[in-house]
Structure 1
Amino acid sequence: MTLNLQQQAQRRMRRALIFLVGLVLVLVGALVTIAITGGESTTAAPDPKPSPAGPSAMPTVRPDDGGYVAPNETVKLPDGAAKAGVLPVQFPHTPEGAAAMAVASVRNAWSLDAAQIKAGILAYSSAQYRDQMAAVAEDGAKGNRQYAGIPDTGPVPAGATLNAWPIGVKYAAVNSDTVDVLVLLRVTHAAKAGAEQTTTIVVSPGRAVWEGGDWKGVPTAPGQPLPDPVDIGTAFFNEDKWKAIQEGDRL
């Protein structure tokens, strides 16, 4: 199972992203850099820093030509008890609650809208990083536009898309108030209507801390080792012990 990725990705996909929340939590609001290597299947590995940085090396998705393999483990992450605008907040004080916050924040971070990115920062980032992250929300949106092959400024071209679909998660409690999370997601984008859609597998690291009655994201150390990206529906997904994220009737 391979992904149809553009061959010229490495030359144009240098990108700063607001990465919302804990381990995979593309920590709400931490600006990270993503580089894409060329080839059939690639991944983006965030470098969790609160300011733009140079591109980091990307491992290649392991090729898999077998048939569909059902996930061994699935998890239905809890819902937030309230909302900040349209974003879920007030997750349970459990490792699963921390993972749910991470998934919500990373999904929101992959946006072309600076206002949406900033809202995620305000909802999910730890107070000690929140103002710094919010101040670079415009840069995060610009980085996302660059990633998607869209001009940095001006109206978003008709039909341009950038969407993130979290497909797997790993989480481990450091203690009752700190949880490390990894989120595995598919990121798809197209630069305009009629453009070929590109899909990338991303592993996002983060750390969630219990703060003010909810889970918030803090950056992880730069350069931390990350698992290789794998797609759901492959044997590698199970070998690497990812939990498939179940949302409603969908895995």
Structure 2
Amino acid sequence: MTLDLQRAAQRRMRRAVITLAALVLVLVAALVVIALRGDDRTGSAPAPAPERSTTADPTPVETMPTDAGEYVAPASYVALPDGAGDVGGLPVEFPRTPEGAVAMAVASARNAWSLDAAEVEAGIRAYASAQYRDEMAASAEDGATGNRAFAGLPEKGPIPRGAALNAWPIGVKWEKKGSAVDVLVLLRVTSVSGAGADPKTTLVVAPGRAIWESGDWKSDLTDPKPLPDPAEIGTARFNEDGWKAIQEGSRL
């Protein structure tokens, strides 16, 4: 990553931090497209996705990196538990374990990349801590607008035919901090600005903190701090940087 890109990412981070009360929620980190610190990989991106939002899982894309020779298998996997319940199709009621906290953060980060403000708000209400839930829900429209900008779409009006924005979590790191769990989610985000447009794939690291609240894990605010550069799964650096590949339920 060039110095200019790093500075641009830092400016986006500062704007988001100011907008969101000087703190970063993992859900909102994705919503307003902060912490965008990765290389576009258009050479290996999949065919344009069908016209849809990101509530459902996108089709996995090829993991072989374009700038290396052999595929390097992940050295470590983590089996993330399923939620025991759901709210509007979003999984909730994760077990009270570090892996349960990570599973919530992954679900939250995945849902945040949506072009639909109603879907963004639903994710906030499902995963945000009660203390900040209403405030964050009020920013759902801004989140969807930021996602539109990321995908190269007009901020207002109908979404162009063939436009899509999909987020696929590919790796995680976490650290217990007392009763909380600090989580980093590594995502591959693919966007298409419309029918016939070339897809763009970017790696993003989304930070967050999970706390146990009312019988489930919820996303709390965490202090902004420098984030690690993302690493594509299938590369040696993915392992060297300590990322764990994700297995959710019976799905890799």
| Residues 1:94 and 2:97 aligned together | yes
Q: CA RMSD in A?
A: 3.0
| Runs ≥4 residues deviating over 6 A | 14-17
Give the deviation of 1:102 after TM superposition.
0.1
SS for the counterpart of 1:241 is coil
- For residues 124 and 38 of structure 1, what CA distance do their matches in structure 2 show? 26
Against the structure 1 CA distance between its residues 95 and 156, is the aligned structure 2 distance closer, same or farther, given a 3 Å change threshold? same
Against the structure 1 CA distance between its residues 234 and 135, is the aligned structure 2 distance closer, same or farther, given a 3 Å change threshold? same
Matches within 5 A, 1:105-184: 105-175=108-178, 177-184=179-186
- Which residue does 1:225 correspond to in 2? 226
Give the deviation of 1:219 after TM superposition.
2.0
Against the structure 1 CA distance between its residues 240 and 220, is the aligned structure 2 distance closer, same or farther, given a 3 Å change threshold? same
Report the TM-score when normalising by structure 1: 0.77
**Which letter does structure 2 place at the counterpart of 1:27?**
L
SS for the counterpart of 1:186 is strand
- Which residue does 1:26 correspond to in 2? 26
**Which letter does structure 2 place at the counterpart of 1:197?**
P
Against the structure 1 CA distance between its residues 122 and 39, is the aligned structure 2 distance closer, same or farther, given a 3 Å change threshold? closer
- For residues 227 and 33 of structure 1, what CA distance do their matches in structure 2 show? 16
Q: What's the % identity of the aligned pairs?
A: 66
SS for the counterpart of 2:26 is coil
Against the structure 1 CA distance between its residues 115 and 204, is the aligned structure 2 distance closer, same or farther, given a 3 Å change threshold? same
CA offset digits 1:75-123 (Å, max 9, x no partner): 1200001001100000000000000000000000000000000000000
Against the structure 1 CA distance between its residues 209 and 30, is the aligned structure 2 distance closer, same or farther, given a 3 Å change threshold? farther
SS for the counterpart of 2:143 is helix
Matches within 5 A, 1:187-198: 187-198=189-200
- Which residue does 1:68 correspond to in 2? 71
Are the aligned partners of 1:101 and 1:216 in contact in 2 as well (CA < 8 Å)? Answer: yes
Are the aligned partners of 1:25 and 1:103 in contact in 2 as well (CA < 8 Å)? Answer: no
Gaps in structure 1 of 5+ consecutive residues: 1-6, 18-23, 43-61
- For residues 176 and 38 of structure 2, what CA distance do their matches in structure 1 show? 35
Give the deviation of 1:65 after TM superposition.
1.7
In proportion to residue count, which structure has more helix?
A: 2
**Which letter does structure 1 place at the counterpart of 2:229?**
D
Report the TM-score when normalising by structure 2: 0.77
CA offset digits 1:151-202 (Å, max 9, x no partner): 0111111110100000001111112x31010100100001001100000000
Matches within 5 A, 1:224-243: 224-243=225-244
Gaps in structure 2 of 5+ consecutive residues: 17-23, 43-64
- For residues 141 and 109 of structure 2, what CA distance do their matches in structure 1 show? 17
Are the aligned partners of 1:179 and 1:207 in contact in 2 as well (CA < 8 Å)? Answer: yes
In proportion to residue count, which structure has more strand?
A: 1
SS for the counterpart of 1:80 is coil
